[in-house]
């Protein structure tokens, strides 16, 4: 892989690199250095990308899709260090996390390659009712004609691969618009896919003014599916603007970790710290609220503060760092401000709270009022607000007292409590004795309420959205 400072990072129109003179800068959030310029596409180039995708080319056999995805996985593993360093440089997320992310993305390619070989077609015999005929109805899947995929900054590689790999496995062409905050990894990922054998018409990477590029990708009637991962406000705006087409929305979260008084305390402390602070707290499924049974509140709080202090904050590119920056200084300042507001309303900062530029140290806050902005809205950073709950019913009620419904975790030794939580919490996922974010890359994933429309992602579910079922019947 070339050095990140070698040249201007291009966009790609149907596999062809386009590098106009209009560029924007990508900066390292840790030291504010400009690490690269990215070329923007013109509206005419966006139109060329759409036309090339619709014109298409030789459809890829299942085996060819499998080969391309496997080759992409191999190339990614060969370049894993360079990808981890690039994600780290443009996002400020520490190397320990970005290495983990590259591993996840390689899983996505692997699972998508496996799924490309499978056919989920069904056969229905029609002579199963009094009026039935001697016919059979068959199903097959056809790829949608064109997908617009729009991704956020917080997993610059994995979010992109979660859109592209299932699309390739399903045989559907994609226009990708990664986040302007972290476009470099996405561009290198596209190059890797072309190198793995992906035909140009199957993928374009478009960056430019939102009112030109993103708006066209959302509103153009030739686009059959818009798949968006990002914040609630933008997701709802896209739902409004997209018109008559499929829309998949994977939006924000406000995940609770409920810790009951029958919990294994070591496990609870471990899961709370991992859930709150990994990826600088910038996972849609990061723990955003610790709901702790009042009987164990004091012991948990003391042990959790000790554990949180072990998370080394520092230069994201240093091997020992466990918490890098958040995405930029403005985001860190917003987090600082919600902490200050909670303190003004009676909360106490037990650890952290110090900000240096885009870096906020892991911050543990106790006695957080239930209506504090920090716990009502999504606080996308390493904040750990602790709230006391009386019992399982109070915990479930508080877990549900949010507009979000992405994921949740419960730490308990009681099967009864576990089952009540699974039934009672209104989120797309409930993990018992695990962090809310636990998943594998091919299991169904997605939220309800403001976190999403209940349409799942994960390789298998995403492939279903990226294709349409056709039925045909034959007289036999
Ligand atoms: P964001 O909504 O600000 O941006 C996401 C993408 O949308 C970016 O590519 C951005 O350029 C683009 N965009 C912005 N305005 C647009 C418009 N008007 N039309 C079309 N596209 C537009 O989100 P972000 O700050 O990059 O990411 C963080 C958010 O993403 C958090 O809320 C997080 O919870 C959420 N997220 C959700 C999931 C999930 O699977 N549910 C996963 C990761 C992140």
List pLDDT tens digits, range 41-54.
999 999 999 999 99
Mutate to test the pocket of ligand 1, among 206, 209, 234 (most ligand atoms within 8 A of CB): 234
Structure tokens at 70: 């496997």
Q: Is a pLDDT exceeding 50 seen at residue 431? A: yes
DSSP 343-401: HHTT-EEEE---EETTEE--EEEES--TT-HHHHS---SSEEEEEEESSHHHHHHHHHS
How confident is the model over 157-171, as a mean pLDDT?
98
- Which residue among the candidates 11, 88, 284, 442 is catalytic per the annotation? 284
CB crowding 379-394: b at 16 or more within 10 Å, else e: bbbbbbbbbbbeebee
**pLDDT value for 204:** 98
Q: What whole-number distance in Å separates Cα of residue 427 and Cα of residue 298?
A: 28
Active site annotation includes 195: no
Looking at residues 424-449, what average pLDDT do you find?
Answer: 98
3-class DSSP state for residue 212?
coil
User: Over the stretch 309-329, which tens digit does the pLDDT of each residue have?
Assistant: 999 999 999 999 999 999 999
Atom from ligand 1 closest to the CA of residue 445: 40
Query: Which tokens go with 29?
Result: 């959030």
Residue extent(s) of CATH 3.40.605.10 domains in the chain: 8-251+452-472
Q: Is the pLDDT of residue 2 over 60?
A: no
| 249-286 confidence digits (pLDDT tens) | 999 999 999 999 999 999 999 999 999 999 999 999 99
Mean pLDDT of 402-430: 98
Average pLDDT over residues 354-360: 97
Catalytic residue among 90, 191, 250, 461: 250
Give the pLDDT mean for 376-383: 97
CA 90/CA 79 separation, integer angstroms: 17
Token pair for 89: 């440089």
Q: What proportions of the chain, in percent to the nearest 5, are helix, strand and coil?
A: 40, 20, 40
**Looking at residue 257, what is its pLDDT?**
99
Question: Residue 201's closest CA among 73, 58, 71, 62?
Answer: 58
Measured from the CA of 230, which atom of ligand 1 is nearest?
A: 30
Residue 302 CA to ligand 1 center (angstroms) comes to 35
Give CA–CA dist 286/211, Å, rounded. Answer: 31
Location of each CATH 3.40.309.10 domain in the chain: 255-432
pLDDT at 329: 98
> Residue 157 above 70 pLDDT?
yes
Note the pLDDT of residue 6.
Answer: 57
**If you measure from the C-alpha of residue 179 to the centroid of ligand 1, how many angstroms do you get, rounded to a whole number?**
8
The reply, when asked if residue 179 is annotated as ligand binding, is: yes
Q: Which single residue is written with the structure tokens 């690269």?
A: 36
The candidate with the shortest Cα–Cα distance to 359, out of 337, 327, 384, 319, is 327
Asked if the interface predicted TM-score (ipTM) of this complex is over 0.85, the answer is yes
Cα–Cα distances (Å) from 357 to 183, 272, 319, 331, in that order, read 22, 26, 21, 10
Kindly state the average pLDDT of the residues 56-75.
98
Q: What is the pLDDT of residue 4?
A: 46
Cβ(186)–Cβ(205) below 8 Å: yes
CA distance 329 to 391: 39
CB of 149 sitting under 6 A from ligand 1: no
- CA dist 26 → 37, 267, 401, 472 (Å): 6, 39, 38, 50
225-229 and 147-150 beta bridge pairing = parallel
Pick 255-432's CATH classification: 3.40.309.10, 2.60.40.10, 3.40.50.720, 3.40.640.10: 3.40.309.10
What are the structure tokens assigned to 297, written together?
Answer: 């509140």
Average per-residue pLDDT for the chain? 97
Burial of 184 (0-12, 13-18, 19+ CB in 10 A): buried
Strands 23-27 and 34-39: antiparallel
Of 253, 252, 264, 254, whose CA–CA distance to 418 is shortest?
264
Specify whether the CB–CB gap between 320 and 295 falls below 8 A: no
CA angle 142, 147, 153 (to 5 degrees): 140
Ligand 1: which of 176, 230, 454 to mutate, judged by most atoms within 8 Å of the beta carbon? 230
Note the pLDDT of residue 382.
98
Pick the CATH number of 8-251+452-472 from 3.40.50.11600, 2.60.40.10, 3.20.20.150, 3.40.605.10: 3.40.605.10
Whether 21 has a pLDDT exceeding 90, the answer reads no
pLDDT recorded at residue 20:
82
Which range has the worst mean pLDDT, 4-18, 233-247, 375-389, 435-449? 4-18
Res. 427: pLDDT tops 50:
yes
* Residue 5 confidence (pLDDT) above 70: no
Cα separation, 112 vs 108, in Å, equals 6
Q: pLDDT, tens digit, for every residue of 452-465?
A: 999 999 999 999 99
* Ligand 1 contact, 429 CB (< 6 A): no
- In angstroms, rounded to a whole number, what is the distance separating the alpha carbons of residues 467 and 472? 16
Query: Which residue's alpha carbon is nearest to atom 18 within ligand 1?
Result: 234
Residue 107 pLDDT grade (very low, low, confident, very high; cuts 50, 70, 90): very high
Share of the chain above pLDDT 70, in %: 99
- pLDDT of 398 strictly over 80: yes
**Res 330 pLDDT > 90:** yes
* Rounded mean pLDDT, 5-21: 87
How many other CB atoms sit within 10 Å of the CB of residue 476? 7
- 11 assigned to active site: no
Euclidean distance between the first and final Cα of the chain, in Å? 56
What residues have CB less than 8 Å from 61, skipping those under 6 apart? none
Going from the C-alpha of 50 to that of each of 54, 63, 220, 241, the distances in angstroms are 6, 26, 9, 18
């Amino acid at each position: 892989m070339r050095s990140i400072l070698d040249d201007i990072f291009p966009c790609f129109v149907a596999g062809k690199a386009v590098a106009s003179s209009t560029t924007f800068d990508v900066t390292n959030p840790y030291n504010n250095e400009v690490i690269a310029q990215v070329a923007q596409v013109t509206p005419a180039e966006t139109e060329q990308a759409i036309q090339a995708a619709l014109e298409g080319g030789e459809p890829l056999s299942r085996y060819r899709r499998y080969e391309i995805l496997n080759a992409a996985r191999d190339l990614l593993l060969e370049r894993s260090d360079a990808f981890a360093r690039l994600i780290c440089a443009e996002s400020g997320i520490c190397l320990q996390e970005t290495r983990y992310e590259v591993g996840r993305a390689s899983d996505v390619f692997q699972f998508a390659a496996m799924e490309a070989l499978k056919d989920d077609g069904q056969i229905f015999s029609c002579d199963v009712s009094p009026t039935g005929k001697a016919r059979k109805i068959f199903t097959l899947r056809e790829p949608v004609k064109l997908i617009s995929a729009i991704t956020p900054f917080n997993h610059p590689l994995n979010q992109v691969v979660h859109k592209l790999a299932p699309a390739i496995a399903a045989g559907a062409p994609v226009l990708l618009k990664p986040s302007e905050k972290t476009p470099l990894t996405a561009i290198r990922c596209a190059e890797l896919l072309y190198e793995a054998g992906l035909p140009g018409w199957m993928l374009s990477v478009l960056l430019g003014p939102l009112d030109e590029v993103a708006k066209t990708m959302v509103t153009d009637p030739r686009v059959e599916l818009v798949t968006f991962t990002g914040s609630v406000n933008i997701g709802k705006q896209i739902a409004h603007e997209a018109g008559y087409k499929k829309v998949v929305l994977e939006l924000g979260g406000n995940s609770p970790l409920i810790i009951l008084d029958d919990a294994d305390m070591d496990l609870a402390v471990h899961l709370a710290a991992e859930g709150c602070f990994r990826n600088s707290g910038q996972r849609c499924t990061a723990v955003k609220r610790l709901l702790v049974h009042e009987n164990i509140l004091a012991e948990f709080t003391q042990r959790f503060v000790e554990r949180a202090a072990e998370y080394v904050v520092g230069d994201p590119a240093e091997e020992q760092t466990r918490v890098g920056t958040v995405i930029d200084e403005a985001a860190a300042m917003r987090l600082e401000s919600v902490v200050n507001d909670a303190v003004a309303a009676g909360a106490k900062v037990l650890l952290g709270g110090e900000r240096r530029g885009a870096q906020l140290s892991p911050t543990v806050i106790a006695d957080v009022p239930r209506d504090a902005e920090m716990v009502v809205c999504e606080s996308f950073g390493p904040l750990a607000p602790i709230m006391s709950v009386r019992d399982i019913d109070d915990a479930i009620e508080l877990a549900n007292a949010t507009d979000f419904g992405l994921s949740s975790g419960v730490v308990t030794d009681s099967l009864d409590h576990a089952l009540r939580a699974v039934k009672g919490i209104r989120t797309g996922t409930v993990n018992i004795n695990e962090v809310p974010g636990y998943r594998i890359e091919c299991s169904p994933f997605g939220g309800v309420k403001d976190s999403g429309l209940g349409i799942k992602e994960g390789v298998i579910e995403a492939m279903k959205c990226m294709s349409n079922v056709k039925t045909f019947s034959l007289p036999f």
